[in-house]
């Protein structure tokens, strides 16, 4: 059983794979909308394959990357491949920043060492070692396909 956590406007704020991961998010469930979702839907979001995750008419709606207008400029419109090293560098830099925010405020949190290890991995990852465009559609999918432990930004408290 996985969870999506939405704000009061129906916009996704966090994801959790199970009850323990949900507890680790340190959220106030009375102020947020916590929805149980399938593992399949959870994995679509975790791998970055879903866009526009929201609550509509009391139901969770997940749009999968199919609309070319949703495609960032450095990503192939045909299959959403990461086309350039510059795009991947920017994405990884943004994830590193999310990790830093968490690490700066949560030294005693149970996920601290996991997030620190992921941040260190990201900082040492040589994006020039890859051949572009990547066959994977997202960084998270690349990690998943290559047995790299990763965290989607929505998993980081």
pLDDT tens, residue by residue, 79-137: 456 888 998 999 999 999 999 999 999 999 999 999 999 999 999 999 999 998 887 77
For 30-64, how does the pLDDT look when each residue is reduced to its tens digit (9 = 90+)? Answer: 999 999 999 999 999 999 888 778 888 888 988 77
Checking if the pLDDT of 7 tops 50, the result is yes
CA distance 72 to 90: 12
* More confidently predicted of 60 and 67: 60
* φ/ψ of residue 37, rounded to 5: -135, 165
Whether the pTM exceeds 0.75: the reply is yes
Residue 78 has pLDDT above 50, yes or no: no
Identify the three-state secondary structure at position 126. Answer: coil
- As a residue count, the chain comes to 157
Cα dihedral: 94, 96, 101, 106 (round 10): 150
SS3 6: strand
Report the pLDDT value the prediction gives residue 10, as an integer from 0 to 100. 86
């Amino acid at each position: 059983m996985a969870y999506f956590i939405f704000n009061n406007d129906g916009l996704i704020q966090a994801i959790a794979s199970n009850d323990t991961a949900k507890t680790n998010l340190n959220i106030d469930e009375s102020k947020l909308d916590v929805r149980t979702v399938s593992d399949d839907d959870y994995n679509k979001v975790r791998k970055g394959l879903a866009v526009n995750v929201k609550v509509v008419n009391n139901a969770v709606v997940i749009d999968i990357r199919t609309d070319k207008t949703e495609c960032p400029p450095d990503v192939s419109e045909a299959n959403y491949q990461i086309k350039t090293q510059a795009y991947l560098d920017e994405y990884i830099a943004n994830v590193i920043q999310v990790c830093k925010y968490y690490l700066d405020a949560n030294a005693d949190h149970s996920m601290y060492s996991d997030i620190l290890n992921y941040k260190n991995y990201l900082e040492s990852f040589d994006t020039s070692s890859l051949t572009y465009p990547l066959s994977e559609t997202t960084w998270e999918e690349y990690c998943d396909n290559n047995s790299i432990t990763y965290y989607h930004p929505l998993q980081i408290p």
